[in-house]
Amino acid sequence: MKVYEYAGFPNPARVRIALAEKGLLNEVEFVSVNVPEGEHLSDAYRAKNPSAAVPLLELEDGTCISECTAITEYLDQLDGAPTLTGETPKDRAVIHMMQRRAESGLLDAVATYFHHATPGLGAEIEGYQCAEWGNHQKETALKGMRYLDGVLSDQPYLAGEDFTVADITAYAGLVFAGFAEIAVPEDCANLKNWHARVSSRPSIAA
């Protein structure tokens, strides 16, 4: 397997965490795509992923899988013992629901703020920017943090008792928020405690 990525970006980090959780890091060849220099916009890369986003998983038979949730789903099912995406219909539904809430309400909102209301990756890469929309999404991210804080008030992880893909997404969202200088609200003690616990997991701490 090959994973096309740009090290240090939040979405590639999500896949690296999933690989580490599943013990698959040594079974993957990582291929760097220089996003700040626009390599992801090349015809060669777009042929693999029309959305031009990283990460991308390429299988031995040439199949290319993009989108972090799809990649994680594939990796989690490889050994027939999923731990990140759920086993029962109910667990799978709750996990994917919370994953999407963490993605849209936090990670994607931070990304929109970064790409629209800050210099982002530079004018040549960013193209169109709308600062008003970016700043609106900053508020969405703060609301998302407070929502996740409430979820964590009576359970250890976002989808219940176990660490899942939802937690991976939220963790990446908070890391990105820190980079974009969006501070976690002071009243989000549950979220801060969760972040400290998750940060100590071997898949993340390494």
pLDDT at position 152 is 98
Of 77, 101, 116, the residue at which a domain comes to its end is 77
Alpha-carbon dihedral sign for residues 187, 190, 195, 196? positive
In angstroms, the Cα distances linking 143 to 17, 28, 39, 66, 170 are 25, 36, 34, 28, 13
8 Å CB contact between 166 and 158: yes
Inform me whether the pLDDT recorded for 206 exceeds 80: no
**Domain check: are 72 and 93 in the same one?**
no
**Domain check: are 99 and 166 in the same one?**
yes
Q: Report pTM.
A: 0.95
**Domain check: are 125 and 198 in the same one?**
yes
Tokens of 179: 């980079």
**Domain check: are 32 and 98 in the same one?**
no
The least confident of 17-26, 116-125, 144-153 is 116-125
Q: How confident is the model at residue 179 (pLDDT cuts 50, 70, 90)?
A: very high
pLDDT at position 121 is 85
Overall average pLDDT of the 105-131 stretch: 92
Of 67, 25, 10, residue with least CA distance to 203: 25
| Segments forming the whole domain that contains residue 185 | 89-205
pLDDT at position 33 is 96
Q: How confident is the model at residue 129 (pLDDT cuts 50, 70, 90)?
A: very high
Q: What stretches of the chain show up as alpha helix (H) in DSSP?
A: 10-21, 43-48, 68-77, 89-102, 108-117, 123-126, 131-151, 165-179, 189-199, 202-205
In a domain, 106, yes or no: yes
Higher pLDDT pick, 189 / 123: 189
Starting at the earlier edge strand, list the strands of the sheet with 2-5: 29-32, 2-5, 56-58, 64-66
Start-to-end CA span in the chain (Å): 21
In a domain, 82, yes or no: no
Q: How confident is the model at residue 40 (pLDDT cuts 50, 70, 90)?
A: very high
**Domain check: are 95 and 60 in the same one?**
no
Q: What is the CATH number of the domain that holds 101?
A: 1.20.1050.10
Q: How confident is the model at residue 124 (pLDDT cuts 50, 70, 90)?
A: confident
In a domain, 84, yes or no: no
The structural domain count of the chain equals: 2
Residue in the structure block whose two tokens are 């820190």: 178
